């Protein structure tokens, strides 16, 4: 559980600090992100390869019958689908890539923390559910996420307020990763 506190806490802490202490810079990054081509390619690949990994390990017979017809089929599909997605769905691709990651990581998180005795595991569960719901919304309505990011970036105090929330939650997760016994 310790690694999940740190994996999720450190980016929140760093991103929150940037947004809180440099709101204009963070605001420009928020506006530029939805159309960043390189970020889109990287996040899209991460999403498709994460999906291939989950389908390879989840073990649902109906999927396995078609997606494991020959060795490496899932990984070949991940490469092909990454290429096709980057080619045909370039608009707002970074948002869709983040949305995919937000929907995928709870599948790895929940089995690790399910049997933990500490109630502090719920800090991770809440974040995972918020991310999964945001990912589902963002996958189908990426323009709404782009609009929300643009709205937030309009006023530096909005960026700073969002940064303060992320900084506080990230600091809590990092602190829990360091001090919670058995984490």
- The pLDDT tens digits along the chain (183 residues) read 889 999 999 999 999 999 999 999 999 999 999 999 999 999 999 999 999 999 888 878 887 888 887 888 999 999 999 999 999 999 999 999 999 999 999 999 999 898 888 889 999 999 999 999 999 999 999 999 999 999 999 999 999 999 999 999 999 999 999 997 665
Query: Under 8 Å CB-to-CB from 167, ≥6 apart: which residues?
Result: 12, 13, 16, 17, 19, 20
Tokens of 127: 């974040």
Domain carrying residue 141: 2-179
pTM: 0.89
Q: How many CA atoms lie within 13 A of 101 on its CB side?
A: 13
Number of separate domains in the chain? 1
């Amino acid at each position: 559980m310790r690694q999940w506190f740190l994996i999720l806490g450190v980016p929140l802490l760093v991103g929150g600090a940037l947004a809180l202490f440099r709101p204009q810079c963070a605001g420009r990054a928020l506006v530029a992100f939805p159309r960043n081509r390189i970020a889109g390619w990287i996040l899209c690949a991460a999403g498709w390869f994460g999906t291939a990994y989950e389908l390879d390990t989840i073990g649902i017979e109906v999927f396995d019958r078609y997606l494991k017809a020959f060795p490496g089929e899932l990984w070949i599909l991940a490469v092909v689908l990454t290429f096709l997605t980057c080619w045909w769905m370039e608009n707002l691709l970074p948002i869709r890539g983040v949305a995919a990651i937000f929907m995928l990581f709870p599948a790895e998180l929940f089995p690790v923390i399910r049997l933990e005795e500490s109630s502090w595991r719920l800090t991770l569960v809440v974040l995972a559910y918020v991310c999964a719901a945001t990912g589902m919304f963002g996958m189908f309505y990426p323009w709404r996420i782009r609009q929300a990011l643009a709205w937030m970036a309009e006023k530096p105090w909005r960026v700073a307020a969002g940064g303060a929330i992320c900084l506080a939650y990230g600091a809590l997760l990092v602190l829990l990763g360091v001090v919670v016994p058995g984490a």
